[in-house]
Structure 1
């Protein structure tokens, strides 16, 4: 189990046991991390994940609170997790991406213009280990969209855009729960951009295959 997943489970257990109730403020970060036997960084990521599915409410300058946990919020949280952990059709989407995206990138390697390469590289500006997961996913979507566009096939671009949009939640959850997700993504994107700049179509295809396969492998484990 990933460290962040373990942290999420421990906070969830506190809620189930009634140690934390609706409206309660979480103890200070150091106190809670010591109490649960977690590092402060993994606790922080767990809080981010639980805030994303609206179980916790992070109030800047005030602290982190358990939400009202009313039926609507709980249903939304359950729907989010069920979509990722029970609906295995998401794996089929990644399988299709793994087939189509490397081939599209292969085509793009022979067509991409200097202006398109510059735009592709600019999507990585400002992305580092401190980047919020939502921003990382937005960068990831744009990076892949630009490569599809550079291939110059409107049908492929449209199809891949639809497939990519359907996997956003899985990518957000990976960003929150997988260690060094930002570093892995950025490193792989830089390698793909460099190979595109050299016009090395075979290397581009291999790098994109590995890139998509890494997310797919994580998802298979998560499911």
Structure 2
């Protein structure tokens, strides 16, 4: 194992064990290096690497802290990778979305309240196509984001948010090339909300699968 990798593992071990808590300041460099049996150079490299993936926060003149370790923060590195694969792997991202979003919708069916249903019902009533594709896509994204939030699972919500960027382009293409795609989207949105309102997790999962499969199937036909 490379020295820097060993240093990273040791710092990670302190965080996983709870010895270092989210938001806590790391000991002074010399003290931490001695405690972990590392050179100060290898410790610096490890800190630099962990700060790039937002596990550590280096504050000039103050010290180094463990971040909040919130899922949306830690998944930033995945979002960075996603941005480089819009064209080459969009079908792969759509496939992952098709796996994850129905699961989030099923969870939401168990947890959503009347206020949440009203919010989703309003979002399901998409604006007129005359509003333009950007407005339609924006409302569609909000609809799916709210369902993920109602799942109550922050990691799942963050993953789906990360996947929205590469799949949005495909959804726009479909809307521009299929005349009835928006009407079908509205119908499917309402079917999803109906299942959520009935707290029917199985139906919510099924309708979400049908809905998320649409763009993927269209893109496969176009490929």
> Pairwise mapping of residues 56-71 of structure 1 onto structure 2 (< 5 A)?
none
Once residues 134 and 146 of structure 1 are traced to their aligned partners in structure 2, the CA distance between those partners, rounded to angstroms, is 18
Query: Runs of 5+ in structure 1 lacking a partner?
Result: 1-82
Once residues 177 and 97 of structure 2 are traced to their aligned partners in structure 1, the CA distance between those partners, rounded to angstroms, is 22
Once residues 202 and 163 of structure 1 are traced to their aligned partners in structure 2, the CA distance between those partners, rounded to angstroms, is 23
Once residues 195 and 170 of structure 1 are traced to their aligned partners in structure 2, the CA distance between those partners, rounded to angstroms, is 26
> Pairwise mapping of residues 92-103 of structure 1 onto structure 2 (< 5 A)?
92-103=92-103
TM-score after normalising by structure 2: 0.59
- Residue in structure 2 matched with residue 219 of structure 1 by the alignment: 219
Deviation at 1:118, TM superposition (A): 1.0
The SS at the match of 2:130 is coil
Query: Runs of 5+ in structure 2 lacking a partner?
Result: 1-84
Q: Which has the larger radius of gyration?
A: 2
Deviation at 1:130, TM superposition (A): 3.4
> Pairwise mapping of residues 52-91 of structure 1 onto structure 2 (< 5 A)?
87-91=87-91
The SS at the match of 2:124 is coil
- Residue in structure 2 matched with residue 186 of structure 1 by the alignment: 186
Runs of 4+ in structure 1 deviating by more than 3 angstroms, as ranges, are 128-131
Once residues 159 and 133 of structure 2 are traced to their aligned partners in structure 1, the CA distance between those partners, rounded to angstroms, is 25
Q: Does 1:114 align with 2:114?
A: yes
Structure with more contact order per residue of length (Cα contacts < 8 Å, sep ≥ 6): 1
Number of aligned positions between the proteins: 139
TM-score after normalising by structure 1: 0.59
Deviation at 1:179, TM superposition (A): 2.0
- Residue in structure 1 matched with residue 104 of structure 2 by the alignment: 104
